[in-house]
Structure 1
Amino acid sequence: MAWWTAHNKKGRGADDVVFVREGFNRWALVFPLLWLAAKGMWVVLLIAVAAQLLIWAVAEALGFGEAMRLIFGLAINIIMGFEANDLLRWTYARRGYEEVGLVQGDDLEEAEIRFFSAADLQVQSAPPPPPVPPAPGLSRNWKSSEPDFIFPGLSRT
């Protein structure tokens, strides 16, 4: 079973919850730039393209052959495969989403079912908080004729 993190914006309903799987992302390994564009991760896409161009420029300046450029390109793809879901979480955090839960499931559908059924149980089983009585010295209904406890003998005016 895989772990999924649930993210939602404050004040939004259950329809806006998004789930991100923990671990390796094979689509980001095979098609890293397309995957970033499909997810709307434009800042990360620009950084990835700039890193790729920088690596190619350094490889060209140092006189590396095509084999080394291919190895460096594959290295970037492998890094993207391992870090893609964390970068997606970072992008959601930049967009104002907060992590609201962690759930386990074989696929997205099972993770959603487990998350929302657990959320319903928490909402239904949580008793309302008891009313908090006002503190004795902080009542708004004090009378000016009552003595002051810090300076006895003086009254509140």
Structure 2
Amino acid sequence: MRTYTLHPAKGALVGEAHGLERAHLVPDGFSWPAFAFGPLWFFFHRLWLAGLGVLALLAVVAFGGRFLGLTPIAGFVITVLVSLLIGLEASSLRRWTYARAGRPVRDAVTAANAEEAEMKAAARWLDGVPTGRTGPAPHIGISVPPSDLAIGMFPFSEGRR
């Protein structure tokens, strides 16, 4: 099962069908096409800034390896590692680009494939189910204010001073 995020068009309202016409579903996880094709994958998805950034990163790696006098095998290994990083972060860069364009994540669905994800996201969107929190999370069941909590420690074992 894979997680997909829904990025509807700017100004789309939950429950209205025309908001889904230009919506994008972005799969979470490793992207093999982004790993294999790098900047071309970003340009294909119209992610111009991210594509230029990836192209610049690959150019810096290539010229940096040449400048440092690395062997061709070392240069190849470094390029594969950078491509691996690109494949891992491609979905995140795609979400970031959509958020910059006014299309933040409005829903997330888990599905076996893209078609199932589209059906689930469309059904939830058209039902008008609120998909995100509108305010801060309530602190139900916590006996101390959130400012007194310690992360990674055990504040309740010492007692109050």
Q: Which interval holds the TM-score relative to the shorter structure? A: 0.7 to 0.9
Displacement, 1:56? 1.8
Question: TM-score, length-normalised on structure 2?
Answer: 0.71
Trace 1:117-156 onto structure 2 (pairs within 5 A).
Answer: 117-122=123-128
The aligned residue for residue 10 of structure 1 is 10
Aligned residue among 42, 49, 58 for 1:36: 42
Verify: 1:109 aligned to 2:115, yes or no: yes
Once residues 58 and 10 of structure 2 are traced to their aligned partners in structure 1, the CA distance between those partners, rounded to angstroms, is: 36
Displacement, 1:110? 0.6
Number of positions where the alignment pairs a residue of Structure 1 with one of Structure 2: 123
SS of match in other structure, 2:8: strand
Letter in 2 for 1:105: A
Letter in 2 for 1:68: A
Q: Which structure 1 segments of 5+ residues have no match? A: 124-157
Displacement, 1:68? 1.2
Contact 2:39 2:52 (C-alpha < 8 Å) held by counterparts: no
Aligned residue among 62, 77, 80 for 1:71: 77
Q: Which structure 2 segments of 5+ residues have no match? A: 13-18, 130-161
Percent identity reads: 28
Verify: 1:55 aligned to 2:67, yes or no: no
Higher relative contact order (CA 8 A, sep 6+): 2
Looking at secondary structure, tell me which structure has more strand per residue. 1
Displacement, 1:92? 0.7
Question: TM-score, length-normalised on structure 1?
Answer: 0.72
The aligned residue for residue 15 of structure 2 is none
Letter in 1 for 2:58: Q
